[in-house]
A and B are shown apart, each in its own frame.
Chain A
Amino acid sequence: MPALPLDEAGKYVAGAYVVFFALVLVYVAIIGSKIARIARAVEALQGDPSGDTPRADQLVEDE
């Protein structure tokens, strides 16, 4: 097939690069939200007001 004109080829090229960056962005967003959830859980463990429960960072130091 002969080369497509620039205006028609442009949408295919843009489509390919958009697919690639969308995949990377979605992946990073999912992993980022997972890490944020873990950070919140660690904060919750550290924030026990009674003081009966040892803080999470103390347990990490114990390990």
Chain B
Amino acid sequence: MAYARGLKPLAAATAVTMTAALALVFFYAPLDADQGFVQKIFYVHVPMAIVALCGWVAAGVMAIRHLRTGDRSWDVRSYVAIHLSVILGVGVLATGSIWARASWGHWWVWDEPVLVSFLVVFLLYCVYYPLRFSIEDPDRQARYSSVFAIAAGAFVPLNFVAVRLAESFTHPRVLSQTGGDLPGEMRLTFLVSLLAMTLLFVTLWKLELTSKHAEARLKRLRRRLEAREPAAVA
């Protein structure tokens, strides 16, 4: 199967990188002077948010390819990328809430633009499912889903820039164009965590695509078998 090619080495690389990231988080990265041990949540929360946002943008790019070429496999790729990013989005909101509770004493802070904007993007992508599965005709379903993925994918970087321009004082700005305030050990740990999260995303994306591809081939086989059976009886 085309999508399954290279899945095993990729999964092994993901497992190794994830283990290395965890080792760096808990045995190498120094404790944050301000937040202490709670800051360790940063190494799972932020990479997950970055990969989820990039996944949504990538889904928009795949949707453009679908509309340009008419090849429905690009729509399936776009759908799987959105699906995975939504799952990561659940993780981002959950880990963010836990971090907020530990740092600020509240599970959720409504006047914090970073949190609320991520929630808005997440809810926007939750609309994708009813839109996609309310259309029965496969071609129309793929076309409408692609249009949604492109529009929503364009909204993600716009939203990101808007939040940056909002100049929040409450949410810690850890990364910036000048490299942020992360010391070397923390930066290395963060980059390895980000790499591990990216590899995890690609591995799971390929895994789900493999499953979808196998499912589609099975359906085709069943149809062909059904088409041959009456002929055999006759």
Contact = CB atoms under 8 A, between A and B. Distances in A.
B221 A6 contact: no
B84 to A, nearest CB: 8
B40 to A, nearest CB: 5
A6 B232 CA distance: 73
Contacts of B210: 35
Interface string A4-36: 111001101101110110011001100100110
Interface in A23-63: 23-24, 27-28, 31, 34-35, 38, 41-42, 45, 52-54, 56, 59-60, 63
Main SS at interface, chain A: helix
Interface residues of B, number: 42
A53 B34 contact: no
A3 B218 contact: no
Contacts, number: 94
B215 A12 contact: no
Interface string B100-132: 011111000000000000000000000000000
Interface in B200-220: 200, 204, 207-208, 210-211, 214-215, 217-218, 220
Interface of B: 32, 34-38, 40-41, 44-45, 48, 87-88, 90-91, 94-95, 98-99, 101-105, 200, 204, 207-208, 210-211, 214-215, 217-218, 220-222, 224-225, 228-229, 232
5 contacts: A13-B41, A23-B88, A31-B208, A35-B214, A60-B221
